[in-house]
Structure 1
Amino acid sequence: MVLLLKTQINGLARQAEVLISLKEPFRLLGFFIGGRTYTTLHCRDSYHYTYLLQHCKSTNSIKKLHAQITTGGFEQNPFVVAKLVGKYVECSESSMEAARKVFDRLLERDAFVWNMVIQGYANVGPFVEAFNVYDRMRLSGVPANKYTYPFVLKACGAMRDGKRGRIVHGHVVKCGLDSDLFVGNALIALYSKCEEIEISRRVFDEIPGKDSVSWNSIISGYTANGNPHEALMLFRTMLQDRAACLPDHATLVCILPACVEASAIEVGFWIHSYIIKSSMKVDAVLGSALITMYANCGRVTTARVIFYQISEKNVGAWSAMMRCYGMHGHADEALQMFSQFVESGLCPDGIVFLCLLSTCSHSGFITKGLELFEKMGEYGVAKSEKHYACVVDLLGRAGLLDQAVELIRTMPMEAGKDVYGALLGACRIHNNIELAEEAAEKLFVLDPENAGRYILLASMYEDAGRWEDAGRVRKLLRDNNVKKPTGSSSIEVECMYHTFGADDESHPYTDQIFNTLQRLDRIMEEETLTQ
């Protein structure tokens, strides 16, 4: 039936594999795919097209084989077309155009082909097209299955579109797939990305057989939504629950940022010990999370040791270490590391320059900071508002307020709250009330809910003895109902976090706590009198 001649040249060696069957007529077709030459005689068997598609490693090779599929009359074969669409989705990282053209020409589509296209849009975008194709799939009469919904929900999550996500969730419930593990995991991720963590938690609790993805998704969701204590409690539950999975690489990457945010350093130390005892590989992602954790608790030496243990360092690992040096006043080491980074052949991104500009700002390295700011263009890194804010802070801290104002005027984009916030802070340092008033006026529009802006200007008025102006600003703060975040402290008792704010009586054990504090006060007074 088929003759397949495969020739591969490797140095001086030549290998040939010939499969010959002469039961039917055939014709000669040639392909050069992935460094190999394939010659087929007779192309009426779809298996051989799918076999050749498996070996395609580039869009160009897929297109050549696509032409042969078309001339061979297999453009309507669902088996071949599904494989072809899948290869276009796999290799076309930036565009779904070719895959969509193949899909649109197909007259009869099964669920597998629909899912392939939805998956492609969910991965590379435009994400709304994944939802649109899903709608077309439902209208065509082809029922969605448990593989369809995770792709659609992923696209809704990427768009942060909770409304569309809830519509799909309703379809999931109607078809009875709400208890499916993979669909449930996709729902957890969706609601977490849409900042609806309570719904995400309810979905998590209702999943009957949770896997590591379930735990990782909800822990990551709590961390990303500013609930580090809940993330840590779930992590402890995961460790204590015998039915739960053991923490894996993804779990630790998810929980380490929560340790940083909640200052749960002991948990971070335990995680590092767990990594060592389980012989888990510290790659660039996990290593960066550990470096950040140790940087935030001031252990620069330990962070440096971890950095040098990472065999394949990426930009994230380098920037984490530079930030660690910068935040603890080791500006020279941070700048030296940047030189090593460039020599390694990697290209810096915007985050790297943010770390360096912030380091120069806090260390007073004005000339070096401006030099790095100018070099951003040489590396093809676009200057964002945050980069301009760092330079405004750099100039402002040095007392060069006129240069900072001139920089703001020449910005290619509209200056935002970060830029004017940096300028206001510099005015506070150098007691420039007039310029502070201009910056504050902008901030009251750009960042009206930030109480710190009002309080900073009011404090400057009070220092200058301008009590009426100070009162006017504080009245404006009250009239706009802008509340200053209440200071709080937290304590961990038996794996439970208890948070206390100023004059806070909401804790269920308030009476016992205050009684204990009063007894401690009396004991301290008695001890003081006896001394």
Structure 2
Amino acid sequence: MNQISWTNRSFRTLLKSSIAHKDLFTGKALHALYLKSAVHPSTYLSNHFILLYSKCRRLSLACAAFNLTAYPNVFSFNTLIAALAKEARVSDAHALFDRIPEPDIVSYNTLIFAYADRGDTAPALSLFDEARRSNLAVDGFTLSAAITACSRSIGLIRLLHCFAVSSGLGAYTSVNNSLLTYYSKNGFLPEAKQVFNEMDDGLRDEVSWNSMIVAYGQHREGAKAISLFEEMLKRDVYVDMYTLASVLTALTCLGDLSGGRQFHAKFLKNGHNRNCHVCSGLIDLYSKCGGGVLNCRKLFEENHEPDAILWNTMISGYSQNEEFSEEAIHSFLEMQRAGHRPDDCSFVCVISACSNLSSPSQGKQIHALVIKSDIPSNRVSVNNSLIAMYSKCGNLLDARRVFDRMPEHNTVSLNSMIGGYAQHGRGDDSLLLFQQMLESHLTPSSITFISVLSACAHTGRVLEGKKCFEMMSRLEIEPEAEHYSCMIDLLGRAGNLDEAEKLIETMPFSPGSIGWAALLGACRNHGNMDAAINAAHHFLELVPLNATPYVILSNIYATAGRWQDMAAVRRLMRDRGVRKKPGCSWIEVDRRTHVFVADDASHTMIKEIHEYLEVVLEKIKGAGYVPDLRWALMKEGGDIGLRDIEMRLGHHSEKLAVAFGLMSTREGEPILVLKNLRICGDCHNAFKFISLVTKREITVRDTHRFHCFNAGGCSCGGYW
């Protein structure tokens, strides 16, 4: 290698080969030779070294190569800007862009696409206008990037569509494909169809056809998606594996398992099922549409040489079905043993599985692996999933650490952190981050408002919640059922039951089971029996086999001492074959999960747990705790003795899990318990006193939210 002069043609050929094959070892050797022997620096070669390091995802080396370039030209700047943008360092990319003496249209396109990927509309459009004012030849790529940046604003998309027609850029296939995609994603299928139909047959490419197929699927027009696919075949349009995957995506959007199976049968006849892209689409369809995880695994095993994409799809399929989360982690390890290095998608899926398991220890192990891997520490998608995982595992401190160490945030980052604070009852922090989001010109999404409205509901901020709900229309975000449910919950928890009922009456669609459940819970909390009964009956009409309305209605009657009505509800429940899900709580100690159910006798230490719990309960009684017998009466009726009632209260699954956690961990160490149902009211009260007498922080995550008990109080502030 040392005998090759950097001026030789063979040197340049080797360098180009290193770039093409991402051969970092050879490339670094060539760079060392160039630096050692170069008398007259070559901007051409320097640019290629920047490109090499960028393609090999070695950003620090790319930056160093740029800094060593004696006379950087526009290509030098553009290559490094693209590398910075790819690693989500958009602020650094923009700072470098500002240093270019005369940026060209490629410079603008690269930076506009970077902002578009983040969903940052304002800076992207500002750059678009600046490029036009600079008399640069704005091309189809520029306009496509601008349309992508405006992906959530139908008004701006229409303005850019008009500009495309008036400027002659409407002939660009990339522009039409972008318009087609984002009209569809915003719910404007007729406009998407018009764009597709107006495209010249010779201009339409495979992306156009594929995008239209997916658009039909998103709007639940599966027959048209399949028809369009058949038209492609008739017209001899090139059908690739991405087209087949698009059809599967359309069927997945529809939840059309039957259609997916028919399509699968066609693949079996021509052997396409062994293609990794098609197989990934099939696994995705089966995992999301109830085709069975075992069928997904069978499909996966039929492909004898799965690539990284197929592994990721299998891990994702497992992680989307919570009961298979452990298999997701196992497949992640299998993938590495098979010689595939995890990428962003791999880590996002396996971190999601750790979230499902609520396993802090496994989550931290995966986080450590992320740090050791070649995934850049600033990779946004991975960090976003880590924030969500730590929040779901009750560890807001580490979630915030990940958030604060990110050099760049996108809408999902803010959503994850806002949602984490909302779940933990920290409404002030949620609203503060939301305000920072608005000030930083990041556009809130539909999910953002669900988190913010939930934070307001769980902290009694009625005025702030109303303002946020009104803000949605100004941002052209159409409120969905979940947003209305949050508002019903917000008003109901605050005791504004009449206003909550009025909102239900004026909604543009049925509130659904979630909305009626929110009102039912609020009526129970505020003792409004008539309204509760009305809400329960609406709830039962929608989900007659769901145990929740029966249980809540039964509890309301029990609280009022109406035992005959309570018995009638339970009799109806039995007649319809509806069973209440048994309460179950679990806690992780020393990387092992311990599971408890009410009156559990299966744990090897159950005798010691009962004895420890008796001692603790006596202590908290001395501190003022009085057992709330209503929570046992609701379960058993009014015909059991007080001693039995109190004993059964003491054997609730969450009390057993907390007792085990306290006796199995170091003094002062916080504990986290998870429950599959809503926390019992008596347990909620007891844990306040237990946190006081033991000087421990006890966190319980139920199906609704986190309750952090500390020094005699709870983070929910009574809003639960």
Q: 1: distance between equivalents of 2:422 and 2:551?
A: 28
**2: CA distance, partners of 1:289 / 1:523:** 36
User: Offset at 1:402?
Assistant: 2.6
Which residue, 424, 428, 442 being the options, matches 1:332? 428
Question: 1:49-128 alignment to 2 at 5 Å?
Answer: 60=164, 64=168, 88-89=176-177, 92-93=180-181, 94=183, 95=192, 97-98=194-195, 100=197, 115=206, 117-125=208-216, 128=222
The one-letter amino acid of 1:121's match is M
SS at match of 1:484: coil
> For residues 44-443 of structure 1, what are the structure 2 equivalents within 5 Å?
60=164, 64=168, 88-89=176-177, 92-93=180-181, 94=183, 95=192, 97-98=194-195, 100=197, 115=206, 117-125=208-216, 128=222, 129-138=224-233, 146=241, 148-196=243-291, 197-238=293-334, 242-281=337-376, 282-443=378-539
Q: 1:467 to 1:270 in 2, by over 3 A?
A: same
Given that 2:585 and 2:596 are in contact with CA atoms closer than 8 Å, whether structure 1 keeps it comes out as: yes
Q: Matches of 1:502 and 1:13 in 2, distance apart?
A: 69
Structure 2 letter corresponding to 1:385: A
Relative to structure 1, the CA distance from residue 342 to residue 332 in structure 2 (aligned partners, 3 Å threshold; closer, same or farther) is: same
Check conservation: 2:286, 2:296, Cα contact below 8 A.
yes
Distance apart, 1:428 and its partner CA: 1.6
Task: Give the distance between the partners of 2:226 and 2:489, measured in 1 at CA.
Answer: 44
Q: CA deviation at 1:209?
A: 0.5
Structure 1 residues 396 and 310: alpha-carbon distance in aligned structure 2, compared to 1, 3 A threshold: same
- CA drift of 1:200 comes to 1.8
Q: Which runs of 5+ in 2 are unaligned?
A: 1-99, 105-131, 146-160, 184-191, 612-720
Query: CA-to-partner distance for each residue in 1:33-82, whole Å, 9 max, x for gaps?
Result: x97779xxxxxxxxxxxxx9999968848995898xxxxxxxxxxxxxxx
For the pair 1:446 / 2:539, whether they are aligned, the reply is: no
Looking at structure 1, the residues matched to 175 and 481 of structure 2 have their Cα atoms a distance apart, in angstroms, of: 39
Q: Supply the AA of the counterpart residue of 1:411.
A: M
**8 Å contact kept, 1:361–1:394:** yes
Q: Relative to structure 2, which stretch is displaced further, 52-61 or 280-289?
A: 52-61
Question: Alignment partner of 2:401: what SS?
Answer: helix
Structure 1 residue 140, shift from structure 2 partner: 6.4
Deviations 1:83-131 (A, max 9, x none): x76774467434364555556589xxxxxx8855542324544664442
Distance in 2, Cα, partners of 1:445 & 1:177: 45
Superposition deviation, residue 272 in structure 1: 1.2
Return closer, same or farther for 1:276/1:468 CA change in 2, 3 Å cut-off.
Answer: same
User: Aligned partners of 1:523 and 1:313: how far apart in 2?
Assistant: 45
- What amino acid is aligned across from residue 447 of structure 1 in structure 2? V
Secondary structure of 1:178's counterpart equals helix
Contact 1:53 1:62 in 2 (8 A): no
Q: Provide the rounded CA distance (Å) in 2 between the counterparts of 1:202 and 1:412.
A: 44
Normalising by structure 2, we get a TM-score of 0.55
- 2:249 partner letter: K
Describe the shift of the 1:231–1:54 C-alpha distance in structure 2 as closer, same or farther (beyond 3 A): same
- Give, as a single letter, the amino acid of the residue that structure 2 aligns with 1:257: S
1:529 — aligned with what? Answer: none
Q: Could you tell me how far apart the structure 1 residues matched to 2:237 and 2:418 are?
A: 53
Residues 115-170 of structure 1: CA deviation (Å, up to 9, x unaligned): 55542324544664442133235556889665543333233223322222222222
Distance 2:143 2:466 in 1: 48
- How far apart are the structure 2 equivalents of 1:524 and 1:57? 66
Structure 2 counterpart of 1:187, which letter?
A: L
Aligned equivalents of 1:288, 1:207: Cα separation in 2: 31
Tell me the residue number matched to 1:22: none
Counterpart of 2:322 in structure 1: which amino acid?
G
Q: Deviations over 1:202-243 (max 9, x none)?
A: 10111100111111111111222333434434335425x522
Q: CA deviation at 1:189?
A: 2.0
Structure 1 unmatched ranges of 5 or more: 1-9, 15-31, 39-51, 68-83, 107-112, 505-512, 526-531
CA distance in 2, matches of 1:179, 1:242: 22
Q: Residue 481 of structure 1 aligns to a residue in which SS?
A: coil
> How far apart are the structure 2 equivalents of 1:351 and 1:150?
27
2-side partners of 1:280 and 1:180: how far apart? 27
Secondary structure in structure 1 of the residue aligned to 2:337: coil
For 2:495, give the aligned amino acid: G
1-structure distance, mates of 2:558, 2:509: 34
Secondary structure of the residue that 2:458 maps to in structure 1?
A: helix
Shift of 1:301: 2.2
- CA–CA distance in structure 2, aligned partners of residues 217 and 340 of structure 1: 35
Kept in 1: contact 2:332–2:350 (CA 8 A): no
Instruction: Render the CA deviation track for 1:346-393: whole Å, top value 9, x for unaligned.
Output: 222222222122212222223322333333333333233322222222
What letter corresponds to residue 247 of structure 1 in structure 2?
A: P
Find 1:456's aligned residue among 522, 527, 552: 552
State the alpha-carbon separation in 2 of the partners of residues 367 and 56 from structure 1: 41
Task: Tell me how far apart the structure 1 counterparts of residues 170 and 421 of structure 2 sit (CA, whole Å).
Answer: 53
Sort the Cα spacing of 1:205 and 1:234 in 2 relative to 1 into closer, same or farther, 3 A.
Answer: farther
Would the alpha carbon gap of residues 166 and 497 (structure 1) be closer, same or farther in structure 2, given more than 3 Å must change? farther
**Deviation of residue 502 (structure 1)?**
7.5
Q: 1:123 to 1:87 in 2, by over 3 A?
A: farther
Counterparts of 1:523 and 1:469, CA distance in 2: 37
Structure 2 vs 1, CA of residues 472 and 207 (structure 1 numbering), >3 Å: closer, same or farther? Answer: same
Distance 1:302 1:493 in 2: 19
Q: Partner residue of 2:697?
A: none
Q: Note the alpha carbon deviations across 1:447-506, whole angstroms, 9 max, x for none.
A: 2222021011111111211111001100111111112223446799999999887899xx
What does 1:516-527 align with in structure 2 at a 5 Å threshold? 517=604
Counterpart CA distance in 1 for 2:400 and 2:437 is 14
What SS class does the counterpart of residue 274 from structure 2 fall into? Answer: coil
| CA distance, structure 2, for counterparts of residue 428 and residue 340 of structure 1 | 36
Q: Summarize the Cα distance change of 1:498–1:161 in structure 2 as closer, same or farther, 3 Å threshold.
A: farther
Task: Tell me, in whole angstroms, the C-alpha distance in 1 between the residues paired with 2:169 and 2:475.
Answer: 38
1:475 equivalent to 2:556? Answer no
